[in-house]
């Protein structure tokens, strides 16, 4: 038998339920077994469950499930129990027998709670709470067989017996029952009034109704669950199993029964229910509980009680995670939850929906004024610095607000409208609040249509590469071309990348699209004569892909392009991410023989440190500096400084956005090596590139 208090065999995608759930597994008050409904196998068991089934944890977790340990006579009923629960999402309590390898039979009472659900609500993993009721079951069997008075004087567990005489309205109970109720020991009967006085008021009416219904149906017995307050102040959960006695005219005369203290079991079930409906990190309601409370609030709103839904997330949260680590990010989320709770009333609900996303139900207030005041308070308190693990962390929040009934009377609609308002608030800037407006839905629908069009466009091959030349300043010779993506939309015509690339990054389409761009650019460049290079931009999302190096290597191999002719351009956004992983990827790309360029140099704040850490082949000076040449002294000074620095680092410089001869001459004076812009050519499709190269070559010779 396993000596460990808790043994586990968890799938990779199973989330940790937290310390509360682990404490249940480590408890010896009841057996616990976690079951995967898809495979029918045990995932975790505790030592108490091992003892009940007569098997070690290693045996139970070696591909076995409930059907492997249950008594053969109970196997069909047990399978039906799990099948019914997996289908309906609700598990009924049941009793069954476990058969030990040595022939020992153990009776057990099984309560099952859903621990994790699939996205469609079907149960995925459950936890069974198992109590050994062998002694109680055998005693009840003996009493039922002999039809004698029920005298349960068992010393096993917290189990007692009683007999309620309806003629005298007196209750005779054994020593075990008196101990459960906290009554003085003795043989004297207890009046029914005193007996029921210990029962919680909210449970008495239900007990009376259930008993009368069973008697009215001439039932043999009934099982009742209720709570009592003991004289010492303890709240206990009890389960009573009754047998009714009838006279010759079918009038009930008495009830005999057994009482079991199930307090630990009920408390464990409550803790599991809490885990299932609350976020383990912050303790806030999770999406499931938030949705249930939102449905309740909507029902009240249909009767005229308005409320507000506030959706918010944290500004700069990803920067905290990336720079200070996930441990501090978790601490920040916990601190944010504390501040949010402090600003709300008991009738309000705040939930963590996932990541840094939170949602609030603000009820029973005058809207929209109260929602505005609450949103402003939240923006103010979340802007204040957080002191976490020796760091001062400053974030902030943006909020979107939808109102009921004005913005909808469906839970999904209100949450969706709040999300759309949040999307607008973030687009307008950080630290803002925004109420839902009907036109937001139209814009969101347009965004969804654009997303569908993009997915279709990739399959329909509607994308095309245009190319813009890069010219050597000294000779005006074309040294390379930059590949620029265009979308030939069947209705909108040629669509520039800034209109759709951000969305492709959001929906993950940038990965297959970027792979196509690399393959197509290399294939086109391989057809050009000479040693002209081809420059391809890599988005931050694409650069973070684990398969990037393999994709580049495959594109070179299949096209036959000399790696020295491929130039990959990245922005400072890439360098701001996980530095060590980023540098590792850059060195692996460099090892292929390709050239690496830093694009849009000067628009960030950390370029110099990265130029020192990685030997870029080229630095591209952003067009904002080229545009102001001759107009501001600062632009010329910056270009001269960058060109001189890159020369010292053995890096080429390319100035973007060159449109006039004056700018071109100024760049030559500042020491810039290459230039790119409309002065030489607008981006052109692949079919025009040979002619364009020939024309620019003649121009270079003439100059």
* Domain-located, residue 272: no
* Domain-located, residue 274: no
Domain count, the chain: 4
pLDDT at 139 over 90: no
pLDDT at 147 over 50: no
257 with 154, same domain?
A: yes
**Average pLDDT over every residue of 25-45:** 86
148 with 217, same domain?
A: yes
214 with 170, same domain?
A: yes
* Domain-located, residue 442: no
Classified as helix, coil or strand, 174 is coil
The CATH number of whichever domain residue 193 belongs to comes to 3.30.450.20
Per residue in 263-288, pLDDT (tens digit) is 888 888 888 888 888 998 999 999 99
Q: Quick one: pLDDT at residue 577?
A: 65
Name the domain boundary from 407, 436, 465: 436
pLDDT at 5 over 60: no
Please report which helix (H) or strand (E) contains residue 55, including its range.
none
Classified as helix, coil or strand, 606 is coil
Per residue in 252-269, pLDDT (tens digit) is 999 999 898 888 888 888
Residue 611: pLDDT band (50, 70, 90) is confident
* Domain-located, residue 528: yes
**Is 10 or 234 the better-scoring residue by pLDDT?**
234
Query: How far apart (Å, rounded) are the C-alpha atoms in residues 155 and 650?
Result: 88
- Where does residue 603 rank: exposed (0-12), middle (13-18), buried (19+ CB within 10 A)? middle
Query: How far apart (Å, rounded) are the C-alpha atoms in residues 123 and 126?
Result: 7
607 with 642, same domain?
A: yes
The CATH number of whichever domain residue 314 belongs to comes to 3.30.70.270
Residue 226: pLDDT band (50, 70, 90) is very high
Q: Quick one: pLDDT at residue 153?
A: 39
562 with 584, same domain?
A: yes
**Is 496 or 255 the better-scoring residue by pLDDT?**
255
pLDDT at 10 over 70: no
Q: Are 463 and 485 in contact (CB under 8 A)?
A: yes
**Average pLDDT over every residue of 339-355:** 93
Residue 568 region, left (φ>0) first, then alpha (ψ -120 to 50), else beta? beta
649 with 528, same domain?
A: yes
122 with 141, same domain?
A: no
How many Cα atoms within 13 Å fall on the side-chain side of residue 584?
8
* Domain-located, residue 275: no
**Measured CA distances, 63 to 13, 512, 620 (Å):** 18, 39, 59
pLDDT at 292 over 80: yes
Q: Quick one: pLDDT at residue 55?
A: 94
Q: Are 82 and 114 in contact (CB under 8 A)?
A: no
Torsion sign (Cα): 445, 447, 450, 451: negative
Residue 155: pLDDT band (50, 70, 90) is very low
SS3 content of the chain, % helix, strand, coil (to 5): 45, 25, 30
Q: Quick one: pLDDT at residue 521?
A: 95
Query: How far apart (Å, rounded) are the C-alpha atoms in residues 635 and 628?
Result: 6
**Average pLDDT over every residue of 405-434:** 88
572 with 675, same domain?
A: yes
**Average pLDDT over every residue of 521-527:** 94
Residue 7: pLDDT band (50, 70, 90) is low
Angle value at C-alpha 22, between 18 and 28, nearest 5 degrees: 160
Please report which helix (H) or strand (E) contains residue 701, including its range.
helix 689-702
Q: Quick one: pLDDT at residue 330?
A: 92
Query: How far apart (Å, rounded) are the C-alpha atoms in residues 75 and 222?
Result: 25
Considering 3-17, 129-143, 243-257, 260-274, the range whose residues carry the highest mean pLDDT is 243-257
472 with 526, same domain?
A: yes
pLDDT at 511 over 70: yes
Name the domain boundary from 132, 163, 191: 132
**Average pLDDT over every residue of 340-353:** 94
Query: How far apart (Å, rounded) are the C-alpha atoms in residues 118 and 114?
Result: 11
**Is 42 or 28 the better-scoring residue by pLDDT?**
42
* Domain-located, residue 448: no
**Average pLDDT over every residue of 467-483:** 93
Q: Which domain holds residue 57?
A: 6-132
* Mean model confidence pLDDT for the chain: 86
Considering 65-69, 146-150, 183-187, 623-627, the range whose residues carry the highest mean pLDDT is 65-69
125 with 258, same domain?
A: no
119 with 166, same domain?
A: no
**Is 631 or 326 the better-scoring residue by pLDDT?**
326
Count other C-beta atoms under 10 Å from residue 702's C-beta. Answer: 7
pLDDT at 663 over 50: yes
249 with 318, same domain?
A: no
**Average pLDDT over every residue of 428-437:** 86
The CATH number of whichever domain residue 538 belongs to comes to 3.20.20.450
pLDDT at 3 over 50: no
Residue 1: pLDDT band (50, 70, 90) is very low
pLDDT at 4 over 50: no
Which residues on adjacent β-strands are paired with residue 390? none
**Measured CA distances, 333 to 243, 386, 429 (Å):** 54, 11, 22
Residue 605: pLDDT band (50, 70, 90) is low
pLDDT at 160 over 60: yes
Q: Quick one: pLDDT at residue 339?
A: 95
Q: Quick one: pLDDT at residue 613?
A: 78
User: Which segment of 379-388, 510-519, 629-638 scores lowest on mean pLDDT?
Assistant: 629-638
Name the domain boundary from 405, 436, 467: 436
**Average pLDDT over every residue of 668-683:** 92
Q: Quick one: pLDDT at residue 627?
A: 85
Q: Quick one: pLDDT at residue 12?
A: 45
* Domain-located, residue 195: yes
* Domain-located, residue 444: no
């Amino acid at each position: 038998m396993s000596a460990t208090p808790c043994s586990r065999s968890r799938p990779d995608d199973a989330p940790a339920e937290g310390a509360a759930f682990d404490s249940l597994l480590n408890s010896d008050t009841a057996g616990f077994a976690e079951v995967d409904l898809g495979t029918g196998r045990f995932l975790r068991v505790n030592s108490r469950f091992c003892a009940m089934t007569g098997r070690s944890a290693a045996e139970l977790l070696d591909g076995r499930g409930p059907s492997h340990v249950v008594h053969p006579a109970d196997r069909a009923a047990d399978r039906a129990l799990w099948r019914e629960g997996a289908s309906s999402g609700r598990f009924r309590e049941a009793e069954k027998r476990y058969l030990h390898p040595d022939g020992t039979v153990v009776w057990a009472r099984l309560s099952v709670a859903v621990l994790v659900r699939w996205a469609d609500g079907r149960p995925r993993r459950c936890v069974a709470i198992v109590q050994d009721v062998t002694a109680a079951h055998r005693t009840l069997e003996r009493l039922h067989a002999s039809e004698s008075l029920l005298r349960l004087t068992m010393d096993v567990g917290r189990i007692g017996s009683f007999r309620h005489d309806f003629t005298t309205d007196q209750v005779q109970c054994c020593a075990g029952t008196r101990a459960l109720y906290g009554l003085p020991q003795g043989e004297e009967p207890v009046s029914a009034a005193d007996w029921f006085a210990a029962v919680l008021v909210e449970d008495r009416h239900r007990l009376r109704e259930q008993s009368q219904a069973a008697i009215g149906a001439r039932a043999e017995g009934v099982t009742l669950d209720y709570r009592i307050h003991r004289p010492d102040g303890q709240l206990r959960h009890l389960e009573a199993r009754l047998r009714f006695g009838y006279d010759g005219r079918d009038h009930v005369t008495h009830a005999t029964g057994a009482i079991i203290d199930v307090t630990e079991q009920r408390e464990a079930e409550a803790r599991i229910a809490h885990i299932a409906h609350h976020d383990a990190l912050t303790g806030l309601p999770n999406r499931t509980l938030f949705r249930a409370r939102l449905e309740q609030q909507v029902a009240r709103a249909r009767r005229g009680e308005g409320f507000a839904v506030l959706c918010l997330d944290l500004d700069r949260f990803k920067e905290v995670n990336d720079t200070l680590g996930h441990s501090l990010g978790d601490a920040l989320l916990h601190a944010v939850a504390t501040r949010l709770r402090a600003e709300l009333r008991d009738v309000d609900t705040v939930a963590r929906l996932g990541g840094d996303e939170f949602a609030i139900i603000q009820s029973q207030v005058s809207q929209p004024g109260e929602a505005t005041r609450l949103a402003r308070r939240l923006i103010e308190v979340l802007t204040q610095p957080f002191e976490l693990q020796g760091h001062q962390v400053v974030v902030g929040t943006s909020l979107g607000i939808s109102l009921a009934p004005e913005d909808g009377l469906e839970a999904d609609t209100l949450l969706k409208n709040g999300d759309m308002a949040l999307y607008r608030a973030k687009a307008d800037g950080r630290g803002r609040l925004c109420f839902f407006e009907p036109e937001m839905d139209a814009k969101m629908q347009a965004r969804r249509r654009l997303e569908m069009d993009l997915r279709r466009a990739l399959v329909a091959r509607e994308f095309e590469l245009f190319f813009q030349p890069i010219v050597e300043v000294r000779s005006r010779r074309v040294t390379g071309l930059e590949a620029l993506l265009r979308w030939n939309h069947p209705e909108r015509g040629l669509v520039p990348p800034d209109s759709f690339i951000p969305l492709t990054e959001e929906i993950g389409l940038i990965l297959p699209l970027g792979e196509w761009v690399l393959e197509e650019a290399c294939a086109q460049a391989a057809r050009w004569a000479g040693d002209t290079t081809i420059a391809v931009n890599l988005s931050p999302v694409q650069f973070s892909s684990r398969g990037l190096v393999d994709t580049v290597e495959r594109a070179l191999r299949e096209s036959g392009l000399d790696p020295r002719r491929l130039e990959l351009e990245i922005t400072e956004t890439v360098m701001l991410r996980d530095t060590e992983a980023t540098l590792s990827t850059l060195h692996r790309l460099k090892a292929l023989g390709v050239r690496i360029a830093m694009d849009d140099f000067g628009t960030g704040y950390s370029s110099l440190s990265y130029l020192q850490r990685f030997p870029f082949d080229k630095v591209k000076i952003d067009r904002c500096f080229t545009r102001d040449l001759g107009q501001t002294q600062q632009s010329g000074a910056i270009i001269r400084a960058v060109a001189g620095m890159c020369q010292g680092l053995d890096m080429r410089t390319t100035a973007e956005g060159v449109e006039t001869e004056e700018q071109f001459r100024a760049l030559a004076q500042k020491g810039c090596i290459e230039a790119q812009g409309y002065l030489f050519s607008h981006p052109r499709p692949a079919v025009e590139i040979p002619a364009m190269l020939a024309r620019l070559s003649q121009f270079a010779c003439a100059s």
